[in-house]
Structure 1
Amino acid sequence: MLTGGTFWFVTGLFILFALTVVIFMAKKIWLERQKRND
């Protein structure tokens, strides 16, 4: 069982990782859409 501090640390890292992936995917999709408009 994880302690409170470790739990929040892991949760924070996971959220940070998830946000990075979402932003990366959104950027990729946005660039594809921008290319199509030209």
Structure 2
Amino acid sequence: LPPVTENVPLDLIETRTFGSRVIYERYGRARDESD
């Protein structure tokens, strides 16, 4: 994958905990407030 050259705003969509030490976090692009 190419390097990211600019910041991408993200929103946390989902979290899951597996066992006591593993946390899965799913992010998606933040929606533009002008939409």
**Comparing both structures, which one devotes a greater share of its residues to strand?**
2
> Aligning the two structures, in what range does the TM-score lie when normalised by the shorter sequence?
under 0.3
**Comparing both structures, which one devotes a greater share of its residues to helix?**
1
Q: TM-score, normalised by structure 1?
A: 0.22
Which is greater in Rg?
A: 1
The answer to which structure, 1 or 2, has the higher relative contact order (CA under 8 A, 6+ apart) is 2
